[in-house]
Structure 1
């Protein structure tokens, strides 16, 4: 497994085009691999995420079973003449192997928190996004047991001072993504087909602290992603040491 970081040159037209189209960016990410990586159900796969740290610092993170080559992204949306080459790739497998039970980490995750509902008796269930922070947090808490981690709870004193918030967790950066899938035969959508092919995603960014409860399960979850819409920039969790 590998972890790759790429910085966009947000002033370039190519960068702006990619950043406004999850479908185009997904295609660009997958084009980073000479051989199409497999996407097994529940196994390690290619994941990616965009972090908007500031107007001038927009970062793409990728985790993948194979090492990517982002030359095309540098030429289209980066700094082709700058040194170093425009992206950095790290040995992620060694990091994952080193994760231990009860270790505590800062984390960041962009996810698509959804649930299935039935509006009327007899209707099929429909996947619907959670729109409020309360239910978005509840969604993440439900991922804990099967994800091998636990969100760190605040001390009673901290909870009192911070008006009852129970967890070391902040939810924000809600962003609605809407686009139409292109036809595989023509590369375009007809006006009639566009509505049928419309994709709408509610992406939310979580930041906080977690404790590893089951290292083996947690490693697999980091490699395979959390939740839905993994092809469109959701599901990738990154860790950093607690400072």
Structure 2
């Protein structure tokens, strides 16, 4: 499981097109990982456009894959500003020896939603967005612990006796993409940042590899962690 970080060239017309269309961005990224004219499987890669640009103001992106990319396939149009050496996450994070109780800081851009009449509807309230992630955590082998410090003024958004989890929800936005047949895709997204604790190492490893939630072709689902 490899993690790559690349910097896009905002002066490139193709890069600006992809930054405006996550579905097209996914298709472009697939070109670096697959032979020409090969259809990109849904599980070929996970990626996320980071909220912070680099020191030059260039957009930065994280890509997670099982295979080594050939970035030269994306150089012809000036799409790439630069790339960084890939990281072996299994080795870097010692994933083979994950243990129950380990704590990590995390970042996740995801699609918190519910299904109504066979349609997915984005969850707009911060409390329901956090509750969605709590449910996902139970399914994927982690919990979201309570904050160690009380609210500064002693106020609480939740009823007495409940705890505030150590998670922030940021950057609510509707992502819009367009398929080759001109069909429009709209996916609601939220950026999560916070702290998690591993409860089932096997389930957690699987979540790191396959991502969380829907909308992966739109740049959602990549769970990034840093040991505490």
Deviation at 1:161, TM superposition (A): 4.5
Q: Which runs of 5+ in 2 are unaligned?
A: 158-163
Deviation at 1:13, TM superposition (A): 2.9
Relative to structure 1, the CA distance from residue 167 to residue 71 in structure 2 (aligned partners, 3 Å threshold; closer, same or farther) is: same
- Contact conserved, 2:175 with 2:189, CA < 8 A, in 1? yes
Relative to structure 1, the CA distance from residue 141 to residue 72 in structure 2 (aligned partners, 3 Å threshold; closer, same or farther) is: same
Deviation at 1:58, TM superposition (A): 2.1
Residues 39-83 of structure 1: per-residue CA shift (max 9 Å, x gap): 58xxx641111102048142111111111122233453223xxxx
TM-score, length of structure 2 as denominator length: 0.85
Find the counterpart in structure 2 of residue 169 from structure 1.
Answer: 167
Give me the whole-angstrom Cα distance separating, in 2, the residues matched to 1:241 and 1:223.
Answer: 17
Find the counterpart in structure 2 of residue 210 from structure 1.
Answer: 196
Residues 164-203 of structure 1 aligned to structure 2 (within 5 Å): 164=156, 166-183=164-181, 189=182, 197-203=183-189
- Contact conserved, 2:30 with 2:40, CA < 8 A, in 1? no
Deviation at 1:101, TM superposition (A): 1.6
Relative to structure 1, the CA distance from residue 37 to residue 179 in structure 2 (aligned partners, 3 Å threshold; closer, same or farther) is: closer
Q: Which runs of 5+ in 1 are unaligned?
A: 80-84, 119-124, 184-188, 190-196
Aligned-residue RMSD, C-alpha? 2.2
Q: Secondary structure at the match of 1:143?
A: helix
Residues 149-171 of structure 1: per-residue CA shift (max 9 Å, x gap): 1112113x424656326011100
Give me the whole-angstrom Cα distance separating, in 1, the residues matched to 2:215 and 2:194.
Answer: 22
Q: Secondary structure at the match of 1:52?
A: coil
TM-score, length of structure 1 as denominator length: 0.80
- Contact conserved, 2:21 with 2:178, CA < 8 A, in 1? no
Give me the whole-angstrom Cα distance separating, in 2, the residues matched to 1:222 and 1:175.
Answer: 23
Give me the whole-angstrom Cα distance separating, in 2, the residues matched to 1:162 and 1:73.
Answer: 52
Deviation at 1:18, TM superposition (A): 1.5
Give me the whole-angstrom Cα distance separating, in 1, the residues matched to 2:125 and 2:144.
Answer: 19
Find the counterpart in structure 1 of residue 59 from structure 2.
Answer: 58
Residues 94-151 of structure 1: per-residue CA shift (max 9 Å, x gap): 2322432211111000001111113xxxxxx321111121111111111011111111
Relative to structure 1, the CA distance from residue 218 to residue 45 in structure 2 (aligned partners, 3 Å threshold; closer, same or farther) is: farther
- Contact conserved, 1:45 with 1:223, CA < 8 A, in 2? no
- Does residue 1:77 correspond to 2:79, yes or no? yes
